[in-house]
Each structure stands twice: as C-alpha cells, then as structure tokens.
Structure 1
Amino acid sequence: MSENNIIENRDLLASCWTWAGDAAPLRGDETSPIDIRTRVETVARAGWKGVGLIHADLPRIEATIGIKGLKQLLDDNGIVHVEMEFLADWWKTGTLRAESDRWRGILLDTAGILGVETIKIGAELAVTGEPAPVDATAFHEEFDALATQAGNAGTRVALEPMPMNNLKTIELGAKFVTEVNNPFGGLTVDTWHTYRGGTSYADLANILPMDKVFVVEIDDARAEVVGSLWEDTINERLYPGEGEMDTAGFIKAMHEAGWRGHWGVEILAESHRRLPLETAVTRAYAAAAASLDAAERLIAEEQTVSGTATQR
C-alpha cells in the first residue's frame, strides 16, 4: 500500500498464545516452554510492536529476569504495547474467588511496572455444554468494582464475549459494559468470537460503544466448527486471511466503526504451536499485515464506488 495508509495504526500485537510456543489454555501448565528473552527478541525481529502476557508466565519471569527486567527488555526491543490476561472467577465467592483475587493482585502490580494498557478478563465459561448460571447482580457489581480498581492501578479491564460463556455474543457484551458504564471496563472484540457468535460484521458499527472497545483481535478459521466450539477455538484457528471468516471484512468493519488502536493477533492452533517460534510469529505477522492491506483495498474500493455514485 502507499505511505498514506487508510488504516493509520498498523501496529500489530502478538496476543499471548501467538508467541507462547507449545502452550494452550486449560491444558494444565499454561506457561510457555520458551524463555522470555528469546521470545521477546524473536517477536521484535519479526516486526511486532506489542505483546500479550499470560498470567501463568509472570511467576517464572519474576524468578528469572524480574518484572523490571522484563520492562527493560521490552523497551530495548521496541515493544510499545503490552496487554495481559487472563483473570477468571472475579465475580465469584469462596476458594475460586480467593484464587482469582490472588491473581488480580499479581496482574495489577505487574501492570503498574510494565505500563500495561489492558488486562483481558473472562466470564462464566463452559468447555462442554452450557455455562453455569451467573448471579446478574454480582456479575454487574463485581465488574464495576474490578474496573475501578484497575483504573486506580493505571490500567483497565476488557471482558471477552464468547459463544461458550454467559456473554455469548458481541451484542450481549456491548449491552453489559454499557449498563455498567465504568470508564475502565470495556470489551475485547475478536474475529473468531464475533463470527462464531453469529454477529454480522456490517452490524458492528451500530452495536459497539467504541469508547468501551479496548482490545481488537484478528484471526481466522474454517466456516464450519471443527469438533466442539472449545476444540475449534483452541486448536483450529488459522492465520488471518487463510480461512473463511473474512478477516479483511472484519478489519474494515472495525475501522469504519471507529477503531484506531493497534491490532491484536490471536492464533490458537495445534499446527501453529508445533512450529519453531520464529517461523510461527513471522507467518502470523505476515498474514495479519496482508489482511490489513486487503482491508484497505476493500475500503478504497468502497470509497471509489461511493464517490462515483455521488458524482452521478
């Protein structure tokens, strides 16, 4: 594309699983088997301007180079955007809540040192079947409290609607964060979850409160679910533009809705995890950049058609 890019912000962030190597959600130990220095230097060489960090990696990082050492490493390698995940069970009680609060403290403390822009958080998830019932009042009040606490720590939280959790669609997620209306509590909007949740990209501009969209992630997959929804989301994602979810169309829709932030790239796939790290992050980066180019072409074509129609 020309230097006058239609999509002005083309910074790409490698979401936590994209650069983790052989690690996956809810697969026992979620820590990356690759040391953090190798990982950061590898993604930087591939062109990434941001990274996502999974909570499980933080204790090992603290025990090796330290969080302040990580901050220096990120700065030295030109990483300017940092996100973290994943906080679950923040609305619950008992032992689950106690463990969630322990991680909350670690994430918020780390966010302050690293200058983390956003912490991704979950909702009531079901790997199989339907999610357990959620107390709506507690869910609302605890999200509000968590968002306020995040704001006081200099960061914010982004809730991720998924077809496997109690906020099954982007519409439900948008309705929830709008009702809570906390400036530090917003949404993660992801290609896979939007598509699998049945939301038309054309409707995103009308659905989304853009001041509450904190994270946007792109990826791709086949049109049909492979295995269960959970298996599909953690094992079968494809690089942007290599599946049937029309990643370029999603990017175009988010740009036209008003998104001007960087673009997260979340690749969860068994095939991706098996690759050498440098190959994996280089392929993911190239595919995402190509999808931004494809989205720009779509936008330019639409503008040309619109201009021609106006002239008539």
Structure 2
Amino acid sequence: MTGVAPDLIAACWTSAGNVVPFRTGPLSPLDVLTRIRAVAEAGYTGFGLTREDLVVARETVGLGTVASALRDHGITTVQLERLTDWWADGERRRAADAARKDLFEACPALGVDNIKVGADDEGAPIEYGPFCEAFDALADDAARAGVKIGFENTPFSYRIRTTEEAIALVTEVGNPNAGVVLDIWHAYRGGSDYQVIADTLPLAHLFGVELDDGDAEPVGTLLEDTFDRRRPCGEGDFDVAAFILAVRDIGWTGPWGVEDMSVTSRSLPVTDALVRARDAALASFAEADRRAGPVSGQVPS
C-alpha cells in the first residue's frame, strides 16, 4: 500500500468542455485561463492542451500570461498534444512541420514535460524502418527544444495499434528522448494484457500514463467510442486498479493523466466534470493500494 496521493494531470480533453474534434472542430469553447483555474481548483497538478488551443492562447492572451497562470495555480506538469504526420512528405509533412514549430516554440515558455505524438491517420503507409528513423529524428529535434516525445498508440491507427507495438517502437529506436505514453483505453481496446507493461517496458522509456474506463465492447466506430463512451475510472470493465499496479511494477512514480471524455462529461460544467473524474481516479488508486496490501514493515490500521 503506498498511502501517497498521486499527482494527477487533467489531460487536454478533460478540461476542454463540449468539443469533439471530428464532429465540432478542434477548439475548446473555454478560454485557457478559465481551464487552468478550474483544473487547479479541482486538485490537479498537471494540465494538458492541444496544439489548436495553444495557438489560440498564444494569439490572444500570450504564452507569458499562460505561463504565469500555470505557475500561480500550482501546475507543475504541462503536456501538449498531438503531433502526427512527422514521417510524411509533401503537404502533409509541411502541415506537420508547422504544428511541430508551434509546439516546440511553446515548450520553454510553458515548461512542457512531453509532447504526445501518434500515427493515427489514414495517410500513405510508410515502411517500418523509415518510420523508426523519422521517429528517432523527431526525438532528437525535440531534445534540442528541451522537451520529450511520448508516443501514444491508438487501435484505429494504420501503423502502431497496440501497446506491445508502441513499446517495441521506443525500445528498438532506443532514443533516450523518446518514450511511451500509456493509455489504458488504447491498451484495452488494442487487446493488450496489462502484464506486458511490467514485463517489457523499461522505466526509462515511460513518459506518461493516462487513466479512464469503458465498456467491454466498443459502441460505434473506435473513434466515436473513444470520444463518446469513456467512463470514470472504476465504472467500466477495464480494471483500472490492475492497470495501475502493472505500471507501478516498473517503478513509475510520476504524475498520472486522467482523460475524461464522453457524452456525459461534456454535458456537465467543466468544474463538475473535473471533480467527477478526479474522485473516480482516486478511488481506483485506493483499490490498487488495497490489492497491493501493506508495505513491508507497516502495521495495518
């Protein structure tokens, strides 16, 4: 039993309000300062933001004001997302490079820990070898900007669908600035046994973890399911406590992301949605502690 309250990150969609990128467009209807305040007041110490909302914040209040708000509200971990097409060419690559520039330039100002990247598109396939080379180069480029690259697999991707494949990617590339962002949703939907995390993922290549819950079977397409049907931790079939224990087994002591996005969460005021997601996550940590049992030498109360 750890007995230590975890640091929680409100992943970008958890504080974004009523927005679904593929349905309503990518921008949150809430301004960034309101979101930062709500996240902090709900007890989170980390804040996630998409590139699209980052650009709006930069062009309105400015990154200096955002940085001051994060600092004033005790936010110690900042995560940006999401970059894709970093391996592509032509117009897709030009758009990806513009996104990369926006993200990298914000990192020193905001103290960003990592940028989430993925391969979840329907672009022209690329051979695995050149894909790995592009990933290695991206990680080197990020290191020069002072930020880490966290790869997040998605089961609707054409390239890296499972947690096993994501772990293989980062370990085979072996770049110290490239790691995995583990998301329980994508692990479960990709059919991965959580034990694969403890058995195959070196701690040095784990850059982030995200928690939520869901039904045993998807409803609608995987993309619709991931945005519309997530549940608070402990209220679905994912066994969040078992996932937490698997991640702890490799020595993770960093913050834990909470990624809450569903039809239900979007219907709530953002303050209520944040508290609901927080309380559910903390209950799953308590269950993980219960299963783990007392620390050696500790007398149960």
Q: Is the Cα–Cα contact under 8 Å of residues 183 and 212 in structure 1 kept in the other structure? A: yes
Aligned partner of 1:61 in structure 2 is 57
Aligned partner of 1:291 in structure 2 is 284
Q: Is residue 2:138 matched to residue 1:142?
A: no
How far apart in 2 are the matches of 1:27 and 1:75?
33
What's the CA shift for 1:137? 2.6
Which of 202, 213, 216 is 1:223 aligned to?
216
Task: Select between 35-44 and 81-90 the one with higher mean Cα deviation.
Answer: 35-44
Q: Is the Cα–Cα contact under 8 Å of residues 53 and 83 in structure 1 kept in the other structure? A: yes
SS at match of 1:27: helix
Which of 197, 203, 216 is 1:210 aligned to?
203
What's the CA shift for 1:135? 2.4
Aligned partner of 2:252 in structure 1 is 259
Q: Is the Cα–Cα contact under 8 Å of residues 51 and 82 in structure 1 kept in the other structure? A: yes
The alignment's TM-score, normalised by the length of structure 2, stands at 0.94
Aligned partner of 1:93 in structure 2 is 89
Q: Is the Cα–Cα contact under 8 Å of residues 108 and 146 in structure 2 kept in the other structure? A: yes
Q: Is the Cα–Cα contact under 8 Å of residues 84 and 107 in structure 1 kept in the other structure? A: yes
Which of 196, 202, 207 is 2:189 aligned to?
196
What's the CA shift for 1:149? 0.8
Q: Is residue 2:69 matched to residue 1:73?
A: yes
How far apart in 2 are the matches of 1:85 and 1:282?
23
Q: Is the Cα–Cα contact under 8 Å of residues 150 and 208 in structure 2 kept in the other structure? A: yes
What's the CA shift for 1:216? 0.4
1:174-189 aligned at under 5 Å gives the runs: 174-189=167-182
Task: Select between 19-28 and 63-72 the one with higher mean Cα deviation.
Answer: 19-28
Task: Select between 285-294 and 7-16 the one with higher mean Cα deviation.
Answer: 7-16
Check 1:226–1:56 CA distance in 2 against 1; reply closer, same or farther (3 A cut).
same
How far apart in 2 are the matches of 1:72 and 1:204?
37
Which of 234, 254, 263 is 2:227 aligned to?
234
Aligned partner of 2:33 in structure 1 is 37
Aligned partner of 2:148 in structure 1 is 156
Structure 1: give runs of 5+ residues left out of the alignment.
Answer: 305-312
Aligned partner of 1:27 in structure 2 is 23
What's the CA shift for 1:15? 0.3
Q: Is residue 2:4 matched to residue 1:12?
A: no
**Which amino acid is 1:38 matched to?**
T
Q: Is residue 2:95 matched to residue 1:102?
A: no
The Cα RMSD (Å) is 1.6
SS at match of 1:199: coil
Check 1:93–1:12 CA distance in 2 against 1; reply closer, same or farther (3 A cut).
same
How far apart in 1 are the matches of 2:68 and 2:76?
11
State percent identity of aligned pairs: 42
What's the CA shift for 1:213? 1.0
What's the CA shift for 1:203? 2.9
SS at match of 2:272: helix
- 1:255-297 C-alpha deviation (Å, 9 max, x unpaired): 1122111000111212111211111111011111111111111
Aligned partner of 2:121 in structure 1 is 125
SS at match of 1:224: coil
Aligned partner of 2:299 in structure 1 is none
**Which amino acid is 1:91 matched to?**
W
- 1:84-122 C-alpha deviation (Å, 9 max, x unpaired): 000011000000100100010010010111110000001
Which of 49, 52, 57 is 2:45 aligned to?
49
The alignment's TM-score, normalised by the length of structure 1, stands at 0.91
- 1:230-268 C-alpha deviation (Å, 9 max, x unpaired): 111111000111111011111111111221110001112
How far apart in 2 are the matches of 1:203 and 1:29?
35
How far apart in 1 are the matches of 2:23 and 2:106?
24
